[in-house]
Amino acid sequence: MSTISVIQNLNSRISLEKTTFFLDKQYLFSLAEKENRAIKIKPGKHCLQAKIGWYASREFHFEIQPNEDLELILSSNYRAKGRRVSKITSVLFFGGLILNAYLKSPLFVGIWLAITVILSTIVAYKNNFKGLLYYNTIGRKDFLRLKEIDF
């Protein structure tokens, strides 16, 4: 028998659900967040795929020899730059409310909200908004990445 080891390297905001693995399109096992596993399989040509809810990895095709060990790492192709969008939006919004309490001008509220929306959109775009849109639609089967660990 041969062995496949899977190590998860996912951002905790991504891996809220269990990661399910399929070998040759058949259920193999599920892993909780930060959990790793090694499992014995028959030698030969195989195809492994990982799924978390709506998202999946591409099919990882490999051939494993008798008594061979294959170590894989599961990560995400999506690279966000943190929670900058919500922080900037919150600062702008609440800053506008505080200033409006002193100025009491409806015109100021309208202008401030427009500035908040424009700046939040710019920050979202710079934080890979296109990538987020891609991975939530046509790129959902490319969101996760299975890669062999080379020693």
pLDDT digits (tens, 9 = 90+) for 61-115: 999 999 999 999 988 877 655 444 456 666 766 777 777 777 777 777 778 777 7
Beta strands in the chain (DSSP E): 2-8, 19-23, 26-31, 37-41, 44-52, 55-56, 60-64, 69-76, 144-148
So what's the pLDDT on residue 57? Answer: 92
Domain at 2-77+141-148: CATH code: 2.60.40.1120
> What is the arithmetic mean of pLDDT over 128-140?
71
> Can you tell me the distance from the alpha carbon of 52 to that of 13, in angstroms, rounded to the nearest whole number?
12
Task: Using a pLDDT cut of 70, give the percent of the chain over it.
Answer: 75
